[in-house]
């Protein structure tokens, strides 16, 4: 958005220059601004940085992400209420692709123990995962952010997945976003859902919530492009067989209906 005004002022004023040169430029700006400069895009279009993204493995998601995938050299912020709703399965196609290209994946402060068998089932090479655990230190936030910043700045890590401490200050995140410019690969930061109320320095922000068994609801809160009203529903790499999944779907729909009913009854009871 903020790239537009300088480009618009760079346009020659109409009376001074002949319209012959004016027209093509204006048309290019209107139809394909990225041919003028790769980072130029209009507000109602989706930004395109095709060479600087890596595919997420989900066609529905790729279609909505600027450039058709997770951005490289920038933070992608994922908001979720609690771990264990399918976030690893969402990221696993991208992270395993990074590992297959021979680069290291680093995890910072995972909130619980990771199961090596489960990761291997998702296609990870467990030997190639490096886990930096700073949570148990006396000074948690300082050291964990330092470590994350070092990894991003070094530019030698393939992908970074970090669980940030809660209530992180905005300038800390901006600092990480600056460090991510040197990081040639996707960088995911996972934060608590309440962070959605505050602005973020990351160019991409997603809210994740479970949407039934082996499915994940994804809302794009911020992206380089127009806002997306309807949440996406992605089918994750499955845990359940299809028969069980069908049963789970039925239970989920029934459960969500019951939950709404329960809320209504609760409110009625309060009154």
Partner 1 sequence: MLWVAVHLPLLSLESFAATLPAAAADRPLALMDAHRIVSANAPAQQLGVKPGLKRATALALAPHLTLAQADARRDEEALNAVAHTALAFTPNVTIQPANDAVGAEQATPDTVLLEVQGSLRYFGGHERQLQGLLQRLQRALVPLGHRLHLANAPTALGAALLARVHRRFDGVDLALTQRALDAAPVWLLGPGRTHWEALQGMGLRTLADLRGLPRSGVARRFGAALLDELDRAYGAVPDPRVCIVLPPVFESRLELFARADTTEQLLHGAGLLLDRLIAWLAAQHAFVRRFTLVMQHEPRWRRDARTPSETTFELALAEPSRDRAHLLMLLRERLAHLALPAPTLELRLHAADIARRAPPNTELFPTPRSEREGLLRLIERLQARLGHERVQCLAAVDDHRPELATVVRPADAQSVCRAHASVVAMPPATIPVDDDSIEPAPGVKVRPVWLLNEGEPLQERNSEPLLEGQPLELLSGPERIESGWWDMRLVERDYFIAQLPDGALVWIYRTRQRASNPRPGWFLQGRFG
Q: In the bound complex, what is the minimum distance in angstroms from residue 141's beta carbon to partner 1?
A: 13
Q: Which is nearer to partner 1, 42 or 162 (CB)?
A: 162
Q: Per-residue x/- mask for partner 1, residues 4 to 43, rule CB under 8 A?
A: ----------------------------------------
Tokens of 117: 């068998």
Q: Which of 18, 66, 7 is nearest to 205 (CA)?
A: 66
Interacting residue with partner 1 among 18, 83, 166, 261 (CB under 8 A): 83
133-162: contacts with partner 1 (CB under 8 A): 133-134, 136-137, 143, 146-147, 150-151, 154-157
Residue-wise over 164-200: b if at least 16 C-beta within 10 A, else e? bbeebeeebbebbbebbeebebbbbbbbbeebbeeeb
Among 131, 170, 193, 265, binds partner 1 (CB under 8 A): 131
- Which of 71, 205, 214, 218 lies at the binding interface for partner 1 (CB under 8 A)? 214
Nearer to partner 1, 84 or 166 (CB): 84
Separation between Cα atoms, residue 18 and residue 22, nearest integer Å: 7
For partner 1, the binding residues in 251-270 under the rule CB under 8 A are 251-252, 255-256, 258-259
The dihedral sign for the CA sequence 8, 11, 15, 18:
negative
What are the tokens at 225?
């492009």
**126 counts as binding partner 1 under rule CB under 8 A:** yes
Of 147 and 178, which has the nearer Cβ to partner 1?
147
Stretch that binds partner 1, among 7-15, 24-32, 77-85, 197-205 (CB under 8 A): 77-85
50/130 with CB nearer partner 1: 130
- What distance lies between CA 192 and its chain's CA centroid? 14
Long-range contacts of 32-41 (CB under 8 A, 24+ apart): 33/7, 36/7, 37/3, 37/7, 39/3, 40/3, 40/4, 40/7, 41/3, 41/224, 41/225
Q: Which helix (H) or strand (E) holds 208?
A: strand 204-210
Q: Which of residues 156-195 bind partner 1 (CB under 8 A)?
A: 156-157
Q: What is the nearest approach in angstroms of partner 1 to the Cβ of residue 223?
A: 19
Separation of alpha carbons 173 and 179, rounded Å: 10
- Which CB sits closer to partner 1, 103 or 219? 103
Among 244, 261, 263, 266, binds partner 1 (CB under 8 A): 244
Question: Cα 112 vs. chain centroid, distance in angstroms?
Answer: 21
User: Contacting partner 1 (CB under 8 A), which of 7, 114, 196, 221?
Assistant: 114
Determine the size of the site formed for partner 1 (CB under 8 A).
81
């Amino acid at each position: 958005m903020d790239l537009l005004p300088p480009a618009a002022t760079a346009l020659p004023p109409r009376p001074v220059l002949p319209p012959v040169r004016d027209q093509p430029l204006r048309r290019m700006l209107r139809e394909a601004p990225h041919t003028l400069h790769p980072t130029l895009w209009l507000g109602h279009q989706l930004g395109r940085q095709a060479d600087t993204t890596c595919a997420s493995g989900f066609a529905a998601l790729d279609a909505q992400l600027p450039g058709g995938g997770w951005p490289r050299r920038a933070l992608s912020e994922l908001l979720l209420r609690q771990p264990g709703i399918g976030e690893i399965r969402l990221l696993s196609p991208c992270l395993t692709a990074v590992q297959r290209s021979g680069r290291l994946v680093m995890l910072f402060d995972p909130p619980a123990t990771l199961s090596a068998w489960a990761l291997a089932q998702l296609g990870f090479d467990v030997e190639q995962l490096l886990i930096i655990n700073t949570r148990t230190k006396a000074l948690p936030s300082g050291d964990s952010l330092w470590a994350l910043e070092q990894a991003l700045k070094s530019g030698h890590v393939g992908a970074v997945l970090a669980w940030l401490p809660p209530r992180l200050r905005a300038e800390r995140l901006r600092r990480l976003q600056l460090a991510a410019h040197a990081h040639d690969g996707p960088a995911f930061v996972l934060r608590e859902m309440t962070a959605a109320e505050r602005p973020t320095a990351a160019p991409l922000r997603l809210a994740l919530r479970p949407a039934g068994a082996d499915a994940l609801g994804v809302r794009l809160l911020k992206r380089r492009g127009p806002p997306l009203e309807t949440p996406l529903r992605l089918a994750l790499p499955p845990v359940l067989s299809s028969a069980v999944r069908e049963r789970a779907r039925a239970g989920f729909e029934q459960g969500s209906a019951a939950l709404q009913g329960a809320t209504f009854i609760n409110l009625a009871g309060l009154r």
